[in-house]
């Protein structure tokens, strides 16, 4: 039950932090906001280590695991942030839906395990079709799209490689690294690369930080980068990397539900069809023992989507829903 709670907590965090990411750039460049976020998160983690009187020697002792985990932050984060400026958010969400396929390939290459049963492949293809249905109006291509598509595909590979490599190293070394230490180690090893990226892409200190940026960075540091990372590594230790990668399919769907709840926006028929398709595909992918546990969640999501809006959906409501859709893919 704890694993299931942690799993859906990560889904919720990844679906609700994109707007905070956008707000964090209110008075800062995106790379400066990202570096500040990770630096604060690491500072808090090290402070907790000091209060608990834990030795920092484990960071060097398990450096291979922490380095593998850090790849999911750097270079993954700068790559994704750079690429999303060239393609619509819907196309980014669809490309991110390829993450389970990339994770399966990495599992096959690194762990020598084949996760691609016929049922799972059909489920992943069906989920991808559902996301295409939801975001088909944003699937636009031009010359600049090549940069965005290539960078997001690279991000999928980096994220998958990092997750599976961490899994392999922990199995090889036969160690059980605490999820909190793993999150702290990933932050510690990724920060130098992020600082170098900031120096190359920005290199200037902000003269003034708005309250909006400051509050958003604090939220992202504590919830997104620390709590979210701890929960992510907690479930990665207990579930296969392929199952964990399904979060990239759930996040856009949950963001749409949140957008409807916040903006009271009536959803189009093709969006509802796409959401139902994704939910059904996820249910099909999971083993029978897990389906019963999340069947009620899927039913709740469908009820929320089917509820009529409380008020007429005006332009502001539509804009709010679109904003949530656009920023849901920016966090990993």
At 262, list the tokens. 């916040």
CA atoms of 182 and 67, how far apart (whole Å): 10
Tell me the torsion sign for CA atoms 46, 217, 158, 94.
positive
CA dihedral 324, 137, 257, 77 (to 10 degrees): -40
Token readout for 139 is 């699937």
Q: Give residue 190's pLDDT.
A: 92
User: Which residue intervals of the chain are DSSP H helices?
Assistant: 2-16, 18-24, 30-51, 57-61, 63-70, 76-83, 89-96, 99-110, 118-135, 145-172, 179-201, 211-219, 228-238, 241-244, 247-263, 269-285, 288-306, 315-327
Q: What is the pLDDT of residue 329?
A: 47
pLDDT value at position 279?
Answer: 76
78, 118, 181, 330 from 232: Cα distances, Å: 20, 27, 12, 17
Q: Which of 123, 138, 142, 55 is nearest to 291 (CA)?
A: 123
- Amino acid 242: pLDDT: 77
Contact between residue 290 and residue 283 where contact means Cβ atoms under 8 Å apart: no
> Which of 13, 73, 19 is closest to 330 using CA atoms?
19
pLDDT at res. 314 = 45
> What is the residue-level pLDDT of the chain in tens, covering all 332 positions?
688 888 888 888 877 776 677 677 778 887 888 888 899 999 999 898 888 877 777 777 788 889 999 998 898 888 877 777 777 766 677 777 788 888 888 888 888 888 778 888 888 888 888 878 877 776 666 777 788 888 888 988 998 999 899 988 888 877 777 888 888 889 999 999 999 989 988 888 878 888 888 898 899 899 988 998 899 888 888 888 878 877 877 777 776 676 666 555 556 677 778 777 887 787 777 665 555 555 666 666 666 656 655 554 444 445 544 554 554 444 44
C-beta separation of 221 from 72 below 8 A:
no
pLDDT at 309: 55
pLDDT on residue 328 = 46
**CA neighbor of 162 nearest in space, from 233, 212, 254, 211:** 233
User: Residues 86-141: pLDDT tens digits?
Assistant: 777 666 777 777 888 888 888 888 888 887 788 888 888 888 888 788 777 766 66
């Amino acid at each position: 039950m704890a694993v299931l709670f942690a799993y859906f907590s990560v889904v919720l965090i990844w679906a609700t932090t994109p707007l905070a990411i956008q707000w964090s750039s209110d008075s800062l460049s995106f790379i400066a906001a990202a570096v500040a976020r990770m630096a604060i998160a690491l500072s808090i983690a090290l402070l907790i280590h000091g209060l608990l009187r834990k030795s920092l020697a484990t960071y060097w002792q398990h450096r291979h695991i922490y380095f593998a985990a850090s790849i999911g932050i750097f270079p993954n984060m700068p790559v994704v942030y750079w690429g999303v400026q060239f393609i619509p958010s819907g196309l980014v969400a669809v490309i991110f839906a390829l993450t389970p396929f990339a994770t399966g390939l990495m599992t096959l290459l690194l762990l020598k395990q084949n996760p691609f049963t016929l049922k799972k492949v059909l489920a992943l293809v069906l989920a991808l079709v559902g996301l295409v249905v939801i975001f088909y109006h944003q699937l636009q291509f031009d010359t600049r799209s090549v940069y965005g598509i290539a960078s997001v595909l690279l991000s999928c590979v980096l994220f998958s490689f990092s997750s599976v490599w961490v899994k392999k190293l922990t199995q090889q070394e036969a160690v059980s690294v605490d999820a909190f230490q793993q999150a702290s180690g990933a932050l510690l090893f990724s920060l130098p690369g992020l600082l170098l990226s900031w120096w190359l892409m920005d290199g200037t200190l902000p003269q003034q930080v708005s309250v909006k940026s400051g509050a958003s960075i604090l939220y992202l540091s504590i919830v997104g980068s620390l709590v979210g990372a701890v929960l992510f590594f907690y479930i990665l230790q207990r579930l296969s990397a392929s199952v964990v990668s399904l979060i990239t399919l759930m996040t856009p769907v949950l963001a749409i539900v949140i957008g409807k709840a916040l903006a009271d926006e009536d959803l189009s028929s093709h969006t509802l069809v796409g959401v139902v398709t994704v939910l059904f595909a996820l249910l099909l992918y999971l083993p029978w023992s897990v389906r019963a546990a999340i069947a009620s969640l899927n039913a709740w999501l469908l009820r929320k989507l089917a509820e009529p809006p409380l008020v007429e959906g005006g332009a502001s409501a539509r804009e709010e829903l679109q904003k949530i859709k656009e920023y849901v893919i920016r966090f990993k």
